[in-house]
A and B are shown apart, each in its own frame.
Chain A
Amino acid sequence: MSATLSDVTAKLLERYDSRRGALPGSLTRRDAAASSFRIAGLPSVRDEAWRHTSLRLIGDIIGRAPSQAGTVSNLLDRLPGVDGGRVVAIDGQVRDDLLRQPDGVRIYRLADRPDIALDRPASRQLTDLNAMLAEDGAVIEVAAGVDAGVLVLASLATGSVDAFHPRYVVRLGEGARLSLLEFDVGTGNYLHNAALAVTVGRGATFLHARVQNESRTAASIATIDLDLAASGVANSFTLNVGAQLARAETHVRIVGEGATAHLNAVQLLSGRQHGDVTTVVRHEAPDCASRQTVKNVVTGHARAVFQGKIEVARAAQKTDAYQMNQSLLLSPDAEADSKPQLEIYADDVKCSHGATVGELDAEQLFYLRSRGLPLPEARRLLTEAFISGALEEIDDVRLRAPIEAAVAATWAEWQQ
């Protein structure tokens, strides 16, 4: 029998009550999160924001005997070889011995700066759960004008802890630059419920790519809250290939003029995987642009969800917002759900969105086969072509290479 969502909510609250005294930072903030969570609980599919994604799997994970632990060295071997800074957390605990701090970047552990770490993001069920139980994480600050290069933020899960809720804050000063590569891997059964709050200063550039390649029996929830100041640039890409249940939720608030936000994603889902990319882009300032390209490739009995909301406040005139979601279904039982939403209160804006769901084109397949490509190779070439437009949106090749490697590994796995 699997536990109901309210059973799991109760378990998580009990856990807070028993650990409360040992958690770092102000309890005022945590108690506030706990009381919100006590009222709302884990969202069910009756909650509009979670209509297409059920969290019931979490009930099978929380409080069960931990799965067999993977070794840390095996997981470390899976990290991409990228030069630059590095923050590595194992089961949610940041490891000082694995830290590499680049010039011009300050990195504090959560316990050293709990005031900053616990300050944001906004209250939502999963971020409240995170604020309530976060044990570790980091505050990463890039000083004004500094180009910090690449920073790898890696989460390795051994399966020996049933749930962890790391909390990260990234702050880019005026004109600063950072390429952040998140890399999530693991083995066994666990809930990884991460929260990342990013502040992009005036004229700063935040390039971000995330490889979500968690254990196929894990639940992975990652929430990003990103504030973008005037002339700032944020270009974020998420690759969902791992986990049994994954939700990548990004909230962007554009608060200064002339800023640009790109939120792109690719989901490659097979078996009984469920992947969810949810975005909320809120334009609060004029002359800003946002662009989103989300591509899903779904096979087996898997299901891909995209929910994308664009809000344009009255002050955000001359907003240029674009959103496209395309899904490719490779098997009869694969499923894709797309929920675009536009809320526009300004009158001089350009907003467009589109969603398509389709299969591989029979004529294209025949063309390739008539040139000698065996059917699996023809399918793969067309599938690669389908996602290529989204991958090209990753400007920084240092971020694109690990994404492409993870994509190639996924194709190889699918061909087996």
Chain B
Amino acid sequence: MASLVIRNLRAAIDGKSILHGIDLQVGAGEVHAIMGPNGSGKSTLGYVLAGREDYEVTGGEVLFDGQDLLAMEPEARAAAGVFLAFQAPVELPGVGNANFMRTAVNAVRRARGEPELDAVTFLKLARAEAKRLAMPEDMLKRNVNVGFSGGEKKRNEILQMGLLRPRLAILDETDSGLDIDALRIVAEGVNALRGPDFSALVITHHQRLLNNLVPDRVHVLLGGRIVRSGGPELARELEATGYAAAQAA
């Protein structure tokens, strides 16, 4: 059974139409890549799925495990298991990273009817996760994303993903600005979650990430529509021939 079903999804921002009818199904346990040039609507798709209010859904529907995702508040989507790794993670001055993550994890646990984690248990978990991502421990003590390098911000997103254990992760260009080692670590972070209850939508420009994180399906998004879909070989083809050729094909 497909965990994510998108039918004829249309969305606009500030009255400007961006998505012109997206159809996409991601089965449980599958990883799909969305590729396409800048301005094709990739990030909009991620934001709409996560529930950002300034994007207006103008048509279509999205079902997540059979639920009407578009009718849910962003926090309810998170509780249901949707996670968006932001392309540009937001800085929160004055909010400690560990405190933020514990608040988030416990909010989600509460919504799922699970007991909350106390500070000690949580910190142990967070430290182990941070170590796996080769993050310095002091990143937990710092304010959320404040003064983080681009790569540190991306890793911090993956850290949150690991702690929140989503059922659907949307990674919005998490690979951009990462060096080879960081890329491998991020891919490992996602691979570690792979299983029958985890699906991912990986938005990227580059084939590079997909070498480490091999997708089940690859889709090309152009001008707000999916113009082509294929297996992992499509990503390699795009790298060689470009998006314009993909559309013509």
> Bound complex: CA of A377 vs CA of B105, how far in Å?
13
**B73 interfacial by beta-carbon distance below 8 Å:** yes
Q: Choose, from A67-75, A110-118, A381-389, the stretch at the interface.
A: A381-389
Q: Across the two chains, which residue of chain A brings its CB closest to B53?
A: A366
For the complex formed, measure the closest distance between the CB of A387 and the CB atoms of chain B, giving whole angstroms.
8
- B contact residues around A97 at 8 Å (CB): none
- Bitwise, A386-416 to B at CB < 8 A (1) or not (0) is 1011000000000000000000000000000
**B86 interfacial by beta-carbon distance below 8 Å:** yes
Q: Choose, from A58-66, A98-106, A284-292, A367-375, the stretch at the interface.
A: A367-375
For the complex formed, measure the closest distance between the CB of B14 and the CB atoms of chain A, giving whole angstroms.
14
- B contact residues around A368 at 8 Å (CB): 92, 100, 104
Q: How many of A's residues come within 8 Å of B, CB to CB?
A: 22
Interface residue range, chain B: 20 to 34
- B contact residues around A382 at 8 Å (CB): 92, 95
Q: A372-B78, A373-B75 are in contact. Are A367 and B92 (CB under 8 A)?
A: yes
Question: Is the pair A381, B90 in contact by a Cβ cutoff of 8 Å?
Answer: no
Question: Is the pair A367, B103 in contact by a Cβ cutoff of 8 Å?
Answer: no
> Bound complex: CA of A362 vs CA of B90, how far in Å?
11
**A343 interfacial by beta-carbon distance below 8 Å:** no
For the complex formed, measure the closest distance between the CB of B53 and the CB atoms of chain A, giving whole angstroms.
7
**A363 interfacial by beta-carbon distance below 8 Å:** yes
Listed residue (B83, B100, B108) with the most chain A CB atoms within 10 angstroms of its CB: B100
For the complex formed, measure the closest distance between the CB of A327 and the CB atoms of chain B, giving whole angstroms.
15
For the complex formed, measure the closest distance between the CB of A316 and the CB atoms of chain B, giving whole angstroms.
33
Q: A381-B100, A385-B95 are in contact. Are A374 and B90 (CB under 8 A)?
A: no
- A contact residues around B51 at 8 Å (CB): 366, 369-370
For the complex formed, measure the closest distance between the CB of A142 and the CB atoms of chain B, giving whole angstroms.
35
> Bound complex: CA of A375 vs CA of B111, how far in Å?
13
**A364 interfacial by beta-carbon distance below 8 Å:** yes
- B contact residues around A363 at 8 Å (CB): 90
Question: Is the pair B74, A370 in contact by a Cβ cutoff of 8 Å?
Answer: yes
Interface of A is mostly: helix
> Bound complex: CA of A362 vs CA of B47, how far in Å?
14
- A contact residues around B44 at 8 Å (CB): none
Question: Is the pair B164, A366 in contact by a Cβ cutoff of 8 Å?
Answer: no
- B contact residues around A369 at 8 Å (CB): 51, 73-75, 78
> Bound complex: CA of A386 vs CA of B94, how far in Å?
7
Question: Is the pair B103, A377 in contact by a Cβ cutoff of 8 Å?
Answer: yes
- B contact residues around A377 at 8 Å (CB): 103, 107
Q: Across the two chains, which residue of chain A brings its CB closest to B95?
A: A385
For the complex formed, measure the closest distance between the CB of B157 and the CB atoms of chain A, giving whole angstroms.
10
**B160 interfacial by beta-carbon distance below 8 Å:** yes
> Bound complex: CA of A384 vs CA of B104, how far in Å?
16
Question: Is the pair B52, A372 in contact by a Cβ cutoff of 8 Å?
Answer: no
- A contact residues around B92 at 8 Å (CB): 364, 367-368, 382, 385
For the complex formed, measure the closest distance between the CB of A285 and the CB atoms of chain B, giving whole angstroms.
34
Q: A381-B103, A385-B93, A389-B94 are in contact. Are A372 and B53 (CB under 8 A)?
A: no
Q: A385-B92, A385-B95 are in contact. Are A370 and B107 (CB under 8 A)?
A: no
List 8 interface pairs A-B (beta carbons < 8 Å), by A numbering. A364-B92, A366-B74, A366-B90, A368-B92, A369-B75, A371-B104, A375-B73, A385-B94
A residues near B (Cβ < 8 Å) are 362-364, 366-375, 377-378, 381-382, 384-386, 388-389
Q: A373-B75, A377-B107 are in contact. List 16 more A-B contacts (CB 8 A).
A: A362-B54, A364-B92, A367-B89, A368-B100, A369-B75, A369-B78, A370-B51, A372-B75, A372-B107, A372-B111, A373-B104, A373-B107, A381-B100, A381-B103, A382-B92, A384-B95
Please list the 9 inter-chain residue pairs (A to B) with the smallest Cβ-Cβ separation, ordered nearest first.
A385-B94, A372-B78, A372-B108, A371-B104, A369-B74, A367-B90, A388-B94, A372-B107, A385-B95
